[in-house]
Chain A
Amino acid sequence: GNSVTQMEGPVTLSEEAFLTINCTYTATGYPSLFWYVQYPGEGLQLLLKATKADDKGSNKGFEATYRKETTSFHLEKGSVQVSDSAVYFCALTELQGAQKLVFGQGTRLTINP
């Protein structure tokens, strides 16, 4: 079946540091890939997405590229801020059927000033 694996957390960085959160997936066919973010006490919000190989999703300074050859969708940001502290989830969804999301386990990110 389909699955998503994220790097283990938690991750703690200083403000303005470079961020990478690794995500790899296993899927049949060509799923769409997503990064969701969950701020403390809130639900999940879509951060960015990509729907085909070599697509790059971007939002709020975050980027991720759909790499079919390595089945990866790593999240990056060049200079993190304290306000980026949150839990980040990588997910995939199948093209057909009910568009069910399959999530990674989440990575808690803390940015210190």
Chain B
Amino acid sequence: NAGVTQTPKFRVLKTGQSMTLLCAQDMNHEYMYWYRQDPGMGLRLIHYSVGEGTTAKGEVPDGYNVSRLKKQNFLLGLESAAPSQTSVYFCASLRMGNRGSETQYFGPGTRLLVL
């Protein structure tokens, strides 16, 4: 199993450009999440999905859109990138089970620089 993979690993954008970050998981997990990590602020939830075809806003959704057309993929889109979106983006998926076995598995991250 590859676990959770993210594409690309690193990207540089100019202000106003658009791009899509891809997250894929091969563990048949129902739930998937996008976080951003900024210095001194931990990880903050952008959007999440509880199943194929469903998405919901997290703590910091502005400027981002997501889609979950297939269970194994969760896409994060930036329609018009801004310097404030310079960050490291992490995708995660969740294995559900009895209480006590909930574990989120994280991808390796995508480093995005917006100039």
CB-defined contacts of A46 to chain B, threshold 8 Å:
103-104
Q: Is A101 an interface residue (CB 8 A)?
A: yes
Which single residue of chain A is at the shortest CB-CB distance from B50? A98
| Contact size range, A | 20 to 34
CA gap between A45 and B43 in the complex, in Å: 13
Q: Which residues of B contact A100 (CB under 8 A)?
A: 33, 45, 48, 58
Q: Which residue of A lies closest to B49 (CB)?
A: A98
Name the residue of chain B whose CB is nearest to the CB of A50.
Answer: B100
Q: How far is the CA of A98 from the CA of B107 in the complex (A)?
A: 19
**Do residues B42 and A45 form an inter-chain contact, with CB atoms below 8 A?**
no
- B84-107: CB near A (< 8 Å → 1, else 0) gives 000000101010100110111011
* Contact present for B42 and A43 (CB under 8 Å): no
Find out whether the CB atom of B100 lies under 8 angstroms from the CB atom of A99: no
* Residue in contact with A44 in the complex, picked from B40, B44, B90, B102, CB distance below 8 Å: B90
| A73: Cβ under 8 A from any B Cβ | no
Are A101 and B41 neighbours in the complex by a CB distance under 8 Å?
Answer: no
Residues in B whose Cβ lies below 8 Å from that of A101: 33, 43, 45, 92, 104
Contact at A103–B42, with CB atoms within 8 Å?
yes
A43 touches B103 (CB 8 A): no
Structural contact, A32 and B102, CB atoms closer than 8 A: yes
Query: Cα distance A4–B44 when bound, in Å?
Result: 12
Cβ contact within 8 Å between B41 and A105: yes
- Distance to closest chain A CB from B93 (angstroms): 11
Instruction: Write out, one digit per residue, whether chain A residues 59-89 have a CB within 8 A of any chain B CB (1) or not (0).
Output: 0000000000000000000000000000001
Return chain A residues, CB-CB under 8 Å to B96.
99
CA A52 – CA B100 in complex, angstroms? Answer: 9
Cα–Cα, bound, A51→B101 (Å): 9
Which of B33, B96, B102, B109 has the most A CB atoms < 10 Å from its CB? Answer: B102
In the complex, what distance in Å separates the CA atom of A106 from the CA atom of B45?
A: 15
Pair B100/A98 contact, Cβ less than 8 Å: no
Question: What separation, in Å, do the CA atoms of A106 and B92 have in the docked complex?
Answer: 18
Q: Please report A residues at the B interface, Cβ cutoff 8 Å.
A: 4, 32, 36, 42-46, 49, 51-52, 89, 93, 95, 98-101, 103-106
